[in-house]
Structure 1
């Protein structure tokens, strides 16, 4: 990566706040549980070599370590890596580093690469995909989840945020925990196709949860909402309205 580019978002100094805001809410909990549900059929084989790119505080890594996989977490934020160490250091298969994903080098290829809720924080979201694929072994799987630009527009129309939309979703006093660059799912699907990967799974995450009029329902009827997400999250048109979108693509044999 060029050293002259606008820096990608790091969560140094706000790692604890990030942890509370993401995983201390029904939004974060539901996103995590849905991802685990969709990943499970692909990670049942034990002792895979897994890279979590932008692994943050190690929430997902711990789930994978418990299943007996070897997990290497990389994150640009040293504060996040410290949280991941506290959570995961007791597992023998855990390793980590503070680095940009594009700078990561590995002597052996990975069986599975996860890059969740990272692309939307990058200056050029799609540019990370070739870097990830270069680290993926034959038949290996790449799991991407990202903030859905189409759903972002849809939600802001519902809330009447027309000035925000007219300004291209740019505001002078941006909240640091709001993603910088939402991504269109079709753009990612097209990019994966151009790079010869086969998309084997796609789903919307939080297709209903974020749109309920009465926000107390998110807690009082969490299980019912989750059931709706699982039933319809892989079906059109609902999947395209997920606030986050999830794709799993497979690297074909060389």
Structure 2
């Protein structure tokens, strides 16, 4: 059979090799539950993160130097005093521009092009396909060869930026060990912030691109023992990439929510030292 003129492959219920049945699927179980839950989970995070990125309130706790990751780095003169750990690189931002705009688009790109997230939203949001033995509703498939999906091919470069942002988050975590009266301080907020940074590092370096960078092009592992060891460690994390992808969505929301509650005075930060 010759390929269609537009080089697209017929798919879904119109696929040439699909059994000639009227039903979309013969499955009788609730196959639609996993894609539904995935859609709800992703939508919840996107809505929460979008609102928090634009509200510009309760993102900094001056007493303990807690900064939410959604606003790091805060490098505009629009940032509240003390929250600009790296100084002011820009002047006032208009109200419609998030204060974390310097890195948020790259982090969004890193997540959107992530191999796991592609699988997640392709199957749940795009329904391509929604489940095993369930035909997708689309009439053709062009792969990741055209806009907008061709952007998926730059995932490696988003990984580089995400690694730099993880360094910035680590710096924020170190700065957060600040006491209310100066010097070293340690509270519940530090545990949450550090825990989030650890999970973000685990998710970032478990990336498939990181695995390929460390040892994907080596032909003789025995000649590169250091890179082989790095590759094996990244591979162990890569096996849990899906789990880490979801955990980090939760830790990001938890960290931001905690900073917001402490900053707004809704709760007090339990202190262990200073």
Q: Same fold (TM over 0.5)?
A: no
Select the structure that is richer in strand.
Answer: 1
The TM-score normalised by the length of structure 1 is 0.27
Which one has a larger percent helix, Structure 1 or Structure 2?
2
Larger RCO, structure (CA 8 Å, separation 6 or more): 2
Task: Return the TM-score normalized by structure 2.
Answer: 0.26
Query: Looking at CA atoms only, which structure, 1 or 2, has the larger radius of gyration?
Result: 2
